Structure 1
Amino acid sequence: MKVFEAIKNRRSVRDFEDRNVEEEKIERVLEAARWAPSWANTQCWRFVVVKNQETKSDLAEALSENNPAADAIIEAPVVIVACAKKKVSGYKGGEPATEKGDWYMFDTGLAMQNLMLEATNLGLGTVQIGYFNSERVEEILDLPEDVTPVTMTPLGYPKRVPDPTSRKDLDEIVFAEKFEE
């Protein structure tokens, strides 16, 4: 699959087949994440691969109430929790290098985009989940104080692939030389 094809075919999948994901494919999506760009090549991201049913159920309970992805966390054979080391990305000499502060959200987002595109390429489904109780996820995964959960995705073979969602036209989001709205 070509990159642009993967970009256009990626969907938020919340229904998964009762089928394990091959270890080679899990490693491949993680390898894709590893090759994402990051601030000064700091690679602040860390990934926790969860297959244990009890742990997945605990993670699902950490999601916001009525989150449509809660069942997907339980149903998918794998959940990947993307975490980040704090005060690494966007820092120089222990201090924030820009007014934007810690860049871990940005860098981890790039890594997850790579992961999700490679998953699409391999015929796997994902859905980005960011609305959850971070403190609870830290407890569940026994994260150290300098690591924070950023996002998570169930990973598996889609039972159903949703239709594409609409996108704004380029003339609504692209400006020449200066921002105009």
Structure 2
Amino acid sequence: MQSFMETAMARRSIRRFESRPIEEDKLARILEAARWSPSWANTQCWEIVAVESPETLEKLGAELSPKNPATLAIAKGPLTLAICGEKEKSGYYKGTKSTKFGDWLMFDLGLLTQTICLAAHEEGLGSVIVGSFDHDKVNALLEIPDEYEVVALLPMGYPDHAPSPPKRRELSEFCHKEKFGRKG
């Protein structure tokens, strides 16, 4: 088993998968890890729709933005998770926004999605986070209630390639000490 640092540094965005299905026990471990993701005041504002039907996957893939490189990952992959958030739950207290940024669901779903991606990588699977698609059409296709929103699509499967790591900024380029602008 890899250390957390090895997992974090080795995970890549994968957009091409082998055709073999994901074993139920692997998916269960990934979703169990997701269950433990942190969230605003433990609101756990997420819902996940697991899509495996080839017909539905094709329809999901058709809702991506033109030329999106993840289209085939969704349309032809074995599984896509639709990451949904309950609106006005996270970041709210008694129905009132509690932060400058209002609804905190994007932050909570980002934490959840990262946990899923890292857990999938640890299980030998690849994934890519997709945010550019027709949200209204995907909501309708998956019969998402009005109080929820699909925020991301997460195709997942066995990678059919191993991309090299992208260039990363050095710590000295983005870490500040005490105040913004004080690098060190």
| Aligned counterpart, 1:18 | 19
Q: Secondary structure at the match of 1:47?
A: strand
Per-residue CA deviations over 1:98-130 (Å, capped at 9, x if unaligned) read 111000000000001000000000100000101
Distance in 1 of aligned mates of 2:157 and 2:166: 21
Distance in 2 of aligned mates of 1:29 and 1:75: 21
| Aligned counterpart, 2:142 | 141
Letter in 2 for 1:129: V
Q: Secondary structure at the match of 1:118?
A: helix
How big is the shift at 1:153? 1.1
Runs of 4+, deviation exceeding 3 Å: none
How big is the shift at 1:28? 1.2
Quote the sequence identity (%): 44
How big is the shift at 1:55? 0.6
Q: Say if 2:182 is the partner of 1:167.
A: no
TM-score, scaled to structure 2? 0.96
Higher relative contact order (CA 8 A, sep 6+): 1
| Aligned counterpart, 2:97 | 96
Q: Which runs of 5+ in 2 are unaligned?
A: none
Aligned residues: 181
Letter in 2 for 1:42: T
Distance in 2 of aligned mates of 1:106 and 1:4: 22
Distance in 2 of aligned mates of 1:45 and 1:29: 15
TM-score, scaled to structure 1? 0.98
Q: Secondary structure at the match of 2:150?
A: strand
Q: Which runs of 5+ in 1 are unaligned?
A: none
Distance in 1 of aligned mates of 2:126 and 2:4: 16
Q: CA RMSD in A?
A: 0.9
How big is the shift at 1:33? 1.2
